[in-house]
Chains A and B, each alone.
Chain A
Amino acid sequence: MYGCATDVDKPAMNTSDLDTIEVELFVQALQRRHGYDFSQYAPASLTRRVQQLADQMECKTISGLIEHVLHEPQLLPRLLEGLTVPASDMFRDPAMFRVLREQVLPLLASYPQINIWQAGCAHGQEVYSLAILLEEAGLYERSQIFATDLSERALEQAEAGIYNAREAQQWSRNYQASGGTHSLADYYSARYNLLKLDQRLRRHVTFARHNLVADGVFCEAHLILCRNVLIYFSNPLQDRVLSLFRNSLVRGGFLGLGMRESLDYASAAANFSAFAEPVRIYRLASQPEPALS
């Protein structure tokens, strides 16, 4: 440790303060008009996304975007999609999928019914990856995957399971590196420049809307995957969502986060122990923590 950089100067306050005001007003407008609360999102990325939305909708300023928020309710799905920017890949971080395959699934196999919650499933690539893992482990018939996202549009795409074929090579490499024993191409059909995942993979998937900011426990889960979602949340919101996961998991259940996510500032992390720290897989303690008085 080199100590904290308390000697780094405080930032200058001038022209960009206007952006800060506009983003705050945007967030307030969205919340009061539509009930979606983005006030606990980490500001740097949120500001970038709001600015991008304004650019896409050809608004000169974020204030211009606010008019759309207030007066065009049909734009809400587009706004939510822009603010959550769904991003996913099949078998992204193969090392993590290898640990799931080789170490986590064998432990989950002891349950008669396996519930998995994919929180923030975006366009669904990881949902299908997970279904393939379960299929190959011979566990899929007694598994149920709950795939949730805030964005209606993202869920529609996830259900369709149609992706740009230019990703196929990278995804195949990822699949092989994760310990896949078949060919990824066995699980999709390709046409023109698109590939469509085998819809049989969806037979134990339930897609549903769920807002991690506001909604409660979704199901009793044995494994929760929530990768690269909490990176967009402030520390208090990250902590809140980790508590939600704690309350959703069975004792000894697993939690998988993104490869560079940090739990250093979340008190709820105390409930989890590292199962495979390098790939960010954690396990809920098998005994409940004593309640704080």
Chain B
Amino acid sequence: MRTPTAIAIGCSAGGVDALKAVISNLDSRIRQAILVCCHSSSDTMDLLCEVLGRVSALPVIEAVERQLVRSATVQLAPPGYHLLVERDLHFALSIDPRVNYARPSIDVMFSSAAEVWADSLIGVILTGGNADGAAGLQRVRQRGGMAVVQSPADAEVATMPQAALDLAGADYCVGLADIAPLLNQLCLV
């Protein structure tokens, strides 16, 4: 794997605390673009941006269609839309049908990020209540990227990380507290 350019993180609605734990411990010197897909029934990401922004050393924003992916920034998939990345590094949105009952779907975001960043992408699967993300993480690994999965025993809901492990496997399977230090170590080389 090359030096990572981007990190893609997936979790479901119960994962807000997990997300906080990871984002709040990321090193402020990280230059990688960070994309987050968090299932939620809310029609706005404002609250999540605010909650994460308060604990994050990096700016936290909702991804905007057609805009360039930003480095050193946490970018959240907007509610109700799939988030994709074009090869020219601009964001694209879609309202194609739900994937794994989810829109935004982690599989869609991970697969598209894997096409773009290939072996310079880290995919991270945290706690969650369904199997979304497993196929996406598999694609990340097929393209030479790295897979980090929260240890199911440590996760609030084990279904999502377990499904990811079963289908894709992982380069690292660690507890929540160890994920940010691991990402810092992988990114600050």
Mark A residues whose CB is within 8 Å of B.
Answer: 2, 4-5, 7-9, 11-12, 14-16, 19-20, 42-45, 47-49, 85, 87, 93, 228, 231-232, 235, 258-262, 264-265
Asked whether A5 and B80 contact (CB < 8 A) given A44-B92, A45-B96, the answer is: no
Point out the residue from A15, A49, A258 that lies within 8 Å of B143, measured CB to CB: A15
Number of residue pairs spanning A and B whose beta carbons lie under 8 angstroms apart? 102
List, in ascending order, chain A residues with CB within 8 A of B120's CB: 9, 12
List, in ascending order, chain A residues with CB within 8 A of B6's CB: 8
Asked whether A231 and B93 contact (CB < 8 A) given A9-B120, A14-B118, A261-B65, the answer is: yes
List, in ascending order, chain B residues with CB within 8 A of A262's CB: 64-67
Return the CB mask of B22-35 against A: 1 if under 8 Å, else 0: 00000000010100
List, in ascending order, chain A residues with CB within 8 A of B69's CB: 5, 8
Is B134 part of the contact surface with A, judged by Cβ < 8 Å? no
List, in ascending order, chain A residues with CB within 8 A of B43's CB: 93
Task: Give 11 A-B contacts (CB < 8 Å), ordered by A residue.
Answer: A8-B6, A8-B70, A9-B5, A42-B86, A43-B87, A44-B112, A48-B96, A48-B111, A87-B96, A231-B81, A260-B64
List, in ascending order, chain B residues with CB within 8 A of A258's CB: 95
Nearest B residue to A43, CB-CB: B86
Nearest A residue to B115, CB-CB: A16
Point out the residue from A5, A11, A20 that lies within 8 Å of B68, measured CB to CB: A5
Structural contact, B86 and A16, CB atoms closer than 8 A: no
Report the bound CA distance from A58 to B93 in whole Å.
Answer: 27
Asked whether A11 and B95 contact (CB < 8 A) given A4-B68, A5-B71, A259-B80, the answer is: no
Nearest B residue to A92, CB-CB: B80
List residues of B (113-164) whose CB comes within 8 Å of A's CBs: 115-120, 143-144
Structural contact, B5 and A8, CB atoms closer than 8 A: yes
List, in ascending order, chain A residues with CB within 8 A of B111's CB: 48
Report the bound CA distance from A228 to B117 in whole Å.
Answer: 27
Point out the residue from B67, B92, B115, B144 that lies within 8 Å of A45, measured CB to CB: B92
Report the bound CA distance from A26 to B38 in whole Å.
Answer: 34
Structural contact, B89 and A231, CB atoms closer than 8 A: no
A177 to chain B, nearest CB (A): 10
A273 to chain B, nearest CB (A): 20
Report the bound CA distance from A4 to B112 in whole Å.
Answer: 21
B30 to chain A, nearest CB (A): 12
Asked whether A44 and B143 contact (CB < 8 A) given A8-B71, A87-B96, A264-B66, the answer is: no
Report the bound CA distance from A232 to B97 in whole Å.
Answer: 14
B144 to chain A, nearest CB (A): 8
Report the bound CA distance from A264 to B66 in whole Å.
Answer: 8
Structural contact, A85 and B89, CB atoms closer than 8 A: no
B95 to chain A, nearest CB (A): 5
B170 to chain A, nearest CB (A): 21
List, in ascending order, chain B residues with CB within 8 A of A8's CB: 5-6, 33, 68-71, 89
Is B15 part of the contact surface with A, judged by Cβ < 8 Å? no
Is B168 part of the contact surface with A, judged by Cβ < 8 Å? no
